[in-house]
């Protein structure tokens, strides 16, 4: 389409995260249809995160622009650099060749996800040894070579990017005959899956080895706070795991609609790529799910609570009131380490918080079935 409508030379900028060498494919298509017009392809990957997009755009850690190393390529890079120079300091604008720019985006997301899988792997060891993962993260992050960000243990990373981009990287490694490198990155996803399974198993084993027919309140469904996005959210796998053992789920998320939750739980993995009207819903498992609009309604008469998104409002709930309205023993499984464990234990809850020293109740229960 660009080739069809172009009447003069054009710079085409890739913003989407793409497999390495996509620019080459775009270049070939445009050049073969060019009618003498010159096209320069630049790679300018996007690094903003959901929930902080505007801030990330105004004050980026860096802007990356990749282009051909020819005089025309360098001229195109300069044209785009001049646009960013209106608000981004020059030393934060990095200019590279095309393939470095495309690969750097995949590498950055893979490194971020790897940090989370590293700390999540540590969280399992913390639970086994009596160490506290928050203290370990804090101590490790104080090393300026490592840094403090992105070291929060969780029930697993989600979102539309990390898993997709790592699988993309794995595929490129395999295509280039690098199976060892591919396996190294695959492990980041395997640990993420392990963390979700481990969480479900903790719940089931704590609650007398079955959650069948028990009401479990799910607080938070989005993949992180301050967004209603549920793509690849760990909540889907945790809920499906509990539904598999016939739990009754009462779900509350401040931003996610009932329709979205129903759709997510009735779809097979990767179905979200298909048009909504083609997605099948399975009414049988949905009978076990209710979506409510308040944390107190979700927890009323529940046997256990799972916190799956770190929404601020979950930190300030009236947990005494919640406890009074629950079945006993009352359990809290905190997948985001946001509750005050000591305070909740004082109220009477049995508390599991990822990577924290275990409640006496949980000590002899197996973490993984």
Nearest approach, Cβ of residue 114 and ligand UGA (Å): 11
Alpha carbon distance 286, 288 (integer Å): 5
Alpha carbon distance 347, 329 (integer Å): 12
74-113: which residues touch ligand UGA (CB under 6 A)? 109, 112
Alpha carbon distance 263, 286 (integer Å): 10
Let me know: does 64 contact 72? Beta carbons within 8 Å.
no
Q: Which of 116, 124, 217, 236 binds ligand UGA (CB under 6 A)?
A: 116
Q: Is 17 annotated as a binding residue?
A: yes
Q: Is 164 annotated as a binding residue?
A: yes
Burial tier of 368 (Cβ tally within 10 Å: 0-12, 13-18, 19+): exposed
Q: Is 139 annotated as a binding residue?
A: no
Alpha carbon distance 356, 351 (integer Å): 10
Residue 157 lies near ligand UGA (rule: CB under 6 A): yes
Let me know: does 243 contact 235? Beta carbons within 8 Å.
no
Q: Is 47 annotated as a binding residue?
A: yes
Let me know: does 40 contact 76? Beta carbons within 8 Å.
yes
Q: Judged by CB under 6 A, which stretch of 81-89, 152-160, 187-195, 317-325 contacts ligand UGA? A: 152-160
Nearest to ligand UGA of 158, 241 (CB atom): 158
43-72: which residues touch ligand UGA (CB under 6 A)? 46-50
Residue 181 lies near ligand UGA (rule: CB under 6 A): no
H helix runs in the chain, sequence order: 2-5, 22-32, 53-58, 71-84, 98-129, 133-141, 162-175, 179-206, 234-244, 258-266, 283-286, 295-299, 319-324, 341-347
The rounded radius of gyration (Å) of the Cα atoms in the chain is 24
Q: Is 49 annotated as a binding residue?
A: yes
**Catalytic: 161?**
yes
x-marked contacts with ligand UGA along 189-228 as a string, rule CB under 6 A: ----------------------------------xx----
Question: What phi-psi label fits residue 261: left (phi over 0), alpha (psi between -120 and 50 degrees) or beta?
Answer: alpha
223-242: which residues touch ligand UGA (CB under 6 A)? 223-224
Nearest approach, Cβ of residue 330 and ligand UGA (Å): 26
Nearest approach, Cβ of residue 53 and ligand UGA (Å): 8
Q: Is the peptide bond before 329 cis (omega within 30 degrees of 0)?
A: yes
Q: Which of 84, 150, 194, 361 binds ligand UGA (CB under 6 A)?
A: 150
Nearest to ligand UGA of 162, 314 (CB atom): 162
Q: Judged by CB under 6 A, which stretch of 127-135, 157-165, 171-179, 288-296 contacts ligand UGA? A: 157-165
Question: Which of 95, 126, 161, 173 does the annotation list as catalytic?
Answer: 161
Tokens of 362: 């949980």
Binding site: which residues? 17, 47-50, 105, 150-154, 158, 164, 224, 231
Q: Which residues bind ligand UGA (CB under 6 A)?
A: 17, 46-50, 109, 112, 116, 150-152, 154, 157-159, 161-162, 223-224
Binding site for substrate: which residues? 47-50, 105, 150-154, 158, 224
Active site residues: 161
């Amino acid at each position: 389409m660009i080739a069809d409508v172009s009447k003069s030379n054009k710079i085409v900028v890739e913003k989407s995260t793409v497999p390495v060498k996509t620019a080459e494919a775009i270049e070939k298509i445009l050049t073969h249809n060019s009618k003498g017009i010159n096209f320069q392809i630049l790679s300018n990957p996007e690094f903003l995160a959901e929930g902080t997009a505007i801030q990330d755009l105004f004050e980026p850690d860096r802007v990356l622009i990749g282009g051909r190393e020819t005089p025309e390529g360098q001229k195109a890079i300069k044209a785009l650099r001049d646009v960013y120079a209106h608000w981004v300091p020059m030393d934060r604008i990095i200019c590279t060749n095309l393939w470095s720019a495309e690969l750097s985006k995949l590498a950055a997301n893979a490194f971020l996800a790897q940090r989370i899988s590293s700390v999540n792997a540590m969280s399992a060891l913390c639970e086994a040894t009596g160490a506290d993962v928050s203290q370990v993260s804090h101590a490790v992050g104080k090393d300026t070579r490592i840094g403090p960000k992105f070291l929060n243990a969780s029930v697993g990373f989600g979102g539309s990017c990390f898993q997709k981009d790592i699988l993309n990287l794995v595929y490129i490694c395999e295509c280039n005959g690098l199976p060892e490198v591919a396996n190294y990155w695959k492990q980041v996803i395997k640990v993420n899956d392990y963390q979700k399974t481990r969480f479900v198993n903790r719940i089931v084993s704590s609650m007398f080895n079955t959650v069948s027919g028990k009401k479990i309140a799910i607080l938070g469904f989005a993949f992180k706070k301050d967004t209603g996005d549920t793509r690849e959210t760990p909540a889907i796998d945790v809920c499906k795991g509990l539904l598999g053992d016939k739990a009754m789920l009462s779900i509350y998320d401040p931003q996610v609609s009932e329709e979205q939750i129903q759709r997510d739980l009735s779809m097979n993995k990767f179905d979200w790529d298909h048009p909504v009207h083609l997605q099948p819903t399975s009414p049988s498992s949905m009978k076990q799910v209710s979506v409510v609009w308040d944390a107190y309604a979700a927890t009323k008469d529940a046997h256990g609570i799972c916190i799956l998104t770190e929404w601020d409002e979950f930190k300030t709930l009236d947990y005494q009131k919640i406890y009074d309205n629950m079945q006993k023993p009352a359990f809290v499984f905190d997948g985001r380490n946001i509750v005050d464990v000591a305070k909740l234990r004082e109220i009477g809850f049995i508390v599991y918080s990822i990577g924290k020293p275990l409640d006496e109740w949980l000590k002899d229960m197996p973490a993984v079935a």
